Chain A
Amino acid sequence: MIRVSVTVLVLLALWQGVILASGLPPFLLPSPGAVARALWTHQGVLAVAFLKTLTETLAGFALGAVIGIGLALQMAASARLRRWFGPVVVVSQTIPIFALAPILTLWLGYGMAPKLAVVALVTFFPVASAFHDGLTRVPQARLDLARVMGAGRWAMLIRIRMPSALPDLATGLRLAAVLAPVGAVIGEWVGGSEGLGAVMLHANGRMRIDLVFASLALVVVLSLGFQRLVAGQLAARLERYAG
């Protein structure tokens, strides 16, 4: 905590120092004080936007995680499915999300749905890929034992491979947690009137750079909080269970 406070204070001092040294006008680079004032004056709008983005992040992450877990299990259970689905999954990740987001808005409207889709799209892949890796790299000793004990394919998957792969799933969830808030903000930026991304977009258009920075600060808080409190706890719990 002390380390974090010191780092933040040093960064803020540097920021203020750059402004003092360069003489950049506030509409290009607002001072930390100006950003703090913007946070205070727009607290109502920002709080609503924060909750909106947080909701999208949570729901989209949950959706992406469920899809990723399901996909990994499917692909681990069936080699044929893996051959068919594997390339599709990889191709889905080659499309730039910024290009896809407007299309999703076009299809799914301006509400919550396209944002969830964007978040799910960026989160499902790390989850599916890490969990699938874990499912296919179970220590041979465990597989041998289960086999001589007469385990069927299903029992092998549920009782041996799945718990063996939980640490890998935790890794995938941690990665996805970093991407989820970014996905939510992109979704809002491209097609939305609510959330921190939309606030940023509007403030940017009106040259209210202090409000842009205030929203950015909240995105950082949201990202860190989500990673630490939600995804981090979930991942740690999975790792504790897996032993």
Chain B
Amino acid sequence: MRLSGEAWIGPERLFPPLRLALAAGEWLVLLGPSGVGKTTLLRLIGGLPVAAEFRGQITGHMPVALMAQDPGLMPWATVAANITLGATLRRETPDRARLASVLDQTGLAPHAAKRPAELSGGQRQRVALARVLMEDRPLVLLDEPFSALDIGLRLRMQDLAASLLRGRTVMMISHDPVEAARLADRILLMTPAGLEEITAPAGKAPRASDAPEVQGAAAALTRQLVALA
């Protein structure tokens, strides 16, 4: 999966010519100030419509699964029906055994028959994560999925996502330097000048949030983000 090109919104350039390649199995975290085009980049990779005009090319398109800050649950459907939504939309028979194991992995089994309105914010994000697992796509796109959660819940969701999405290619947009330092195999800082590669801390993700190398990397990232603001 490779993208190279630039994006324009009318006469204004959204991002300059840049190259992005995703290696199979890596967890990439994209950080950067608001309005720099991170979400546009993610949507281009996901084949979703964008407001900007993209000039360039994308090769090696892969089927993706998507999870964003808005969990995008269908309020009329039960948790189970939300998780199997993809199969329903494609007119396939949902894999019941797989659903059971996904419900189990995400701890949602007791809530399978509930509707989203009956769930807490953290539980709703778990449904969104369960849906990503159910879709079983090679590339997972995460657009600030945990930014609306409180810090404790966020750390737990990061652990859960890291363990359940292991082995898949993940591209994650984040505003949280600690999140990037905990989860990333590779960190990219997106600035108006383009993409800047940042070395991720050593060790296997999810790294402890209070580990010195995580703290150090997060502090360095924070300094860079503050300088850009």
Contacts and interface: CB of A to CB of B under 8 A. Distances in A.
A141 B76 contact: no
Contacts of A141: 68, 70-72
Contact of B86 (A144, A149, A166): A149
Interface stretch (A87-95, A155-163, A201-209): A155-163
B218 interface: no
Main secondary structure of the interface of A (DSSP, over half): helix
A160 B72 CA distance: 11
A80 interface: no
A14 interface: no
A75 to B, nearest CB: 21
B64 interface: yes
A70 B63 CA distance: 34
Interface in A215-243: 241-243
Contacts of B71: 141
B116 A147 contact: no
B86 A243 contact: no
Contacts of B43: 144
Contacts of A144: 43, 46, 48, 66, 68, 72
Nearest to B67: A145
A175 interface: no
A1 interface: no
A232 B141 CA distance: 42
Interface residues of A, number: 22
B76 A242 contact: yes
A137 to B, nearest CB: 15
A142 B74 contact: yes
Interface in A130-162: 139, 141-142, 144-152, 155-156, 159-160
Nearest to B118: A243
Nearest to A156: B89
Given A145-B72, A148-B46, A148-B141, 18 more contacts: A139-B70, A139-B72, A142-B72, A144-B43, A144-B48, A146-B85, A147-B48, A148-B65, A150-B63, A151-B89, A151-B90, A152-B89, A155-B90, A156-B89, A159-B88, A160-B89, A163-B76, A243-B75
7 contacts: A144-B66, A145-B85, A148-B64, A148-B65, A149-B135, A155-B91, A163-B74
